[in-house]
Amino acid sequence: MSESVLEVKDLNAFYGRAHVLQDVAFTVDERPVAIIGRNGMGKSTLCQVIMGMLTSARGSVRFRGQELMGKPPYRIAREGLGFVPQGRRLFPSLSTDEHLQIIPRRGNGGWTPKRVYETFPRLAARKSTGAAQLSGGEQQMLAIGRALLTNPKLLIMDEPSEGLAPNIVESVIDTISTLAGQGVGLLVVEQNLGVATALAERQLVMVAGRIAAETTAKELIGNIDAQRRFLGVEPLAPRRSS
């Protein structure tokens, strides 16, 4: 077992009176990790809390020994956490190229807009296109490229396959796997079991605001009962449009 990069402990979060995260605890090391679970289980909230975007949370999030709780999002990003949010959250007022220009240059991971365009040639052809005019796949690439420019040591991805056509999902999986192979850590939150198991061997199951179980991709793929139990979906069903 290699040392942990991200260490989450006793994490609790509330929306009003709803207790959406309940004593969440887990660690992430260099290996990719997927957090799976149905809608409304607190997965996206967890991402937001780690990134410091939700301030009504208590507990501890340590990244490479540094406590992140209480820090503003921009400091957390500068510690080396890259965020690809659910729904991509591109800026409709900005063109593709402007998305890449606003990211402050710092750290030495070597990501530049040029390298993003080399990684995603389709974006290079659409530099001056408004983000809202991009296709779903292009938007996802831009969201990933934008996060890479912060030179993250760990990439947090919330539902990267959401709203994408199956063939685009394949190419997104390829891209993310390549990045993970280049030494970028990966914490991916997914409802789509096919995507989650393709990206990470370690699988954490989130149910009603808790990490209910830890399993592996191998175990899940073979175990239809477990899939039903944890996700309540038909086993490895093709992505449903939600």
Partner 1 sequence: MSSRLDVRIVPRAFLVLPGLAVVAWIAYKGSQDAQIFWIVTLNGLTLAALFFVVAAGFTLIFGLMRVVNMAHGSLYLLAGYIAFTLQGSWYGVSGNLLSGTPATVTSWVVPMIIAIIVIGAAGVLMQQVFLRWNQGQDLRQALITIAISVILADQMVAHFGGIAESIQQPATWPDSVSLLGVRYGFFRLVVVVGAALAIGAVLFLVIKRTRFGMIIRAGVDDRSMVSALGVNIQLVFAGAFFIGALLAGLAGVLGGTMIAVQPGNDSAFLLDSLIVVIIGGMGSLGGAAIGSIALGLVNSYADVYLKFGGTDLTNYAILLTFVLVVAVLAVRPLGLFGRPA
Instruction: Catalog residues that contact partner 1 under the rule CB under 8 A.
Output: 51-53, 72-74, 76-78, 83, 85, 89, 91-94, 98-99, 101-104, 106, 146-147, 149-150
State residue 81 phi and psi, 5-degree precision.
-105, 120
Nearer to partner 1, 38 or 91 (CB): 91
**Closest distance to partner 1 from the beta carbon of 205 (Å):** 26
- Using CB atoms within 10 Å of the CB of residue 59, give its burial: 0 to 12 exposed, 13 to 18 middle, 19+ buried: middle
DSSP string, 108-163: SS---HHHHHHH-HHHHTTTTSBGGGS-HHHHHHHHHHHHHTT--SEEEEE-TTTT
Nearer to partner 1, 59 or 107 (CB): 107
Nearer to partner 1, 5 or 149 (CB): 149
**Closest distance to partner 1 from the beta carbon of 12 (Å):** 20
CA 38 to CA 45: how far, in whole Å?
Answer: 13
**Closest distance to partner 1 from the beta carbon of 151 (Å):** 9
**Closest distance to partner 1 from the beta carbon of 13 (Å):** 15
Nearer to partner 1, 81 or 200 (CB): 81
